[in-house]
Homo-oligomer: A and B are copies of this chain.
Amino acid sequence: MEFAQIVKKRFMCRSYEDRDVPDEVLDRILDLAVRFPSAGHTQPQEFIVIRSEDTKYQLARAALDQFYLAEAPVVIVVVSDTRRSKARYGERGEKFYSIVDGAFASLLIMLAAVDAGLGAAFVGAFDDDEVRAVLGLPKAVRPIGIIPIGFCAERPQKLPRLSKEHIIHYERWKDRAEFA
């Protein structure tokens, strides 16, 4: 699909049809997602692909009871192995680049899902240690996002957005007192 169309179609899908995502479709999403950029090509990002109903339910619990994510036939958890970021860049690697890099991979997954005719969402609200316990992640591996993927069962809501004039500054920051 055209990139511009994907960007316009993407939204956070919070309800999924009871319909499977074939492995070959999932593989196409993953083939694109592994082309993520990363700080200094440290590649801290890894993916846990989950189809188990029990694991999805436990993840939904760890995500502050966001049970809609367990509806999706596939859930991908993006994690960053902060050891790779920290070894090269110290604290900025651990607390900044590893998060940026995980978010890059997460957005690629979401866009690739839309490209495949599916819906996806990014769940960032969860208890890190509970997610670690569910998936067996070492302490240094930080969960970044829980991404349900499936055939979306809802229409996009049109959420109001801050105007371009608010968001885009030229040459220098301007305080937007008029928007405050």
A-side interface residues toward B, CB under 8 Å?
A: 1-4, 6-8, 10, 12, 30-32, 34-35, 37, 39, 41, 43, 45-52, 55, 79, 89, 92, 95-97, 99-104, 106-108, 110-112, 115, 122, 124-125, 135-138, 141, 144-145, 159, 161-162, 164, 166-173, 175
Closest CB of chain B to A11's CB: distance in Å?
A: 8
Give the residues in chain B near A89, CB-CB below 8 Å.
125
Task: Choose from B1, B97, B101, B102 the contact partner of A3 (Cβ within 8 Å).
Answer: B1
Closest CB of chain B to A175's CB: distance in Å?
A: 7
CB–CB A37/B52 < 8 A = no
A111 — nearest CB in chain B belongs to which residue?
Answer: B3
CB–CB A112/B172 < 8 A = no
Known: A41-B159, A122-B37, A161-B43. A7 touches B108 (CB 8 A): yes
Give the residues in chain B near A175, CB-CB below 8 Å.
138
CB–CB A108/B107 < 8 A = yes
Give the residues in chain B near A159, CB-CB below 8 Å.
41
Known: A2-B1, A10-B37. A168 touches B103 (CB 8 A): no
Closest CB of chain B to A24's CB: distance in Å?
A: 14
Task: Choose from B3, B41, B95, B125 the contact partner of A2 (Cβ within 8 Å).
Answer: B3
